[in-house]
């Protein structure tokens, strides 16, 4: 695939960009290129990438450079994550990725307006900041992190508002897995519209 030209000069704060295996959610097990943007104002107490929160702490990288780096790898799934990636306008990034032949996936809490054109939207709402309702209709996957047993009720509030065909996933918070996993198993057996998502990359020690 031909490299993307430098006309895509939009700059985005990038904490890291890397080629790996998608570890969680509907697409777990697939090779993908991850672009982790800096900046997040949600403030999850259990966040495992808190170093992503300050957008100013990360270098601003041109879209063309990001796409050309992604093109060095054979997979054609690009996952944009954070932080909270929708703090930034992602129209130019997704246009360039799609022009280069990539599927565009995003992982978002939905707390900022949706920008960009997406092949897959993983909507992962958090209690710490209310999502914007306009994200709901675009969700292909609802992924709720279970940190406390009250999170099941939180998950159901959103499940009722998801579009037809949206995958419903419950994922234990990593540090609470031992306590929460038995509850999740029982819940999914009782309400089989849900599936279990695991952070398989952590079990396999994949970055």
Residues 160-194 pLDDT 10s: 999 999 999 999 998 888 999 999 999 999 999 99
Q: How many CB atoms lie within 10 A of CB 15?
A: 21
Q: How far apart are CA 95 and CA 93, in angstroms?
A: 6
Residues whose CB falls within 8 Å of the CB of residue 18, separated by 6 or more in sequence, listed in order: 33, 34, 207
* pLDDT level of residue 51 (50, 70, 90 thresholds): confident
- In this prediction the pTM is 0.92
Q: How many CB atoms lie within 10 A of CB 60?
A: 12
Residue 143 in this model has a pLDDT that exceeds 90: yes
C-alpha dist (Å) from residue 101 to 85, 133, 196: 21, 30, 30
Residue 5 in this model has a pLDDT that exceeds 70: no
Residue 146 β-bridge partners: 172
Asked if residue 92 lies in contact with residue 72, where contact means CB atoms within 8 angstroms, the answer is no
Residue 44: per-residue pLDDT: 74
* pLDDT level of residue 61 (50, 70, 90 thresholds): very high
Above pLDDT 90, what percent of the chain?
78
Domains along the chain with CATH numbers = 11-203 (3.20.20.70)
- Torsion over CA of 62, 67, 73 and 79, rounded to 10 degrees? 100
């Amino acid at each position: 695939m031909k490299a993307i030209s430098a006309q895509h000069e939009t700059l985005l704060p990038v904490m890291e960009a890397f080629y790996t295996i998608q570890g969680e959610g509907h697409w777990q097990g697939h090779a993908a290129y991850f672009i982790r943007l800096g900046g997040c104002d949600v403030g999850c107490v259990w966040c495992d990438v808190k170093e992503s929160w300050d957008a100013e702490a990360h270098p601003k990288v041109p879209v063309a450079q990001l796409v050309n780096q992604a093109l060095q790898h054979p997979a054609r799934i690009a996952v944009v994550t954070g932080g909270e990636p929708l703090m930034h306008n992602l129209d130019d990034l997704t246009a360039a990725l799609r022009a280069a032949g990539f599927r565009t996936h995003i992982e978002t809490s939905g707390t900022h307006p949706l920008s960009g054109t997406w092949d897959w939207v993983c909507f992962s709402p958090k209690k710490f900041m209310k999502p914007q309702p306009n994200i709901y209709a675009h969700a292909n996957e609802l992924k709720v992190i279970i940190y406390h047993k009250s999170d099941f009720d939180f998950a159901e509030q959103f499940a009722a508002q998801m579009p037809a065909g949206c995958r419903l996933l419950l994922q234990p918070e990593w540090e609470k897995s031992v306590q929460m996993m038995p509850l999740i198993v029982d819940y999914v057996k009782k309400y089989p519209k849900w599936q279990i998502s695991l952070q398989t990359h952590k079990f396999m020690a994949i970055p």
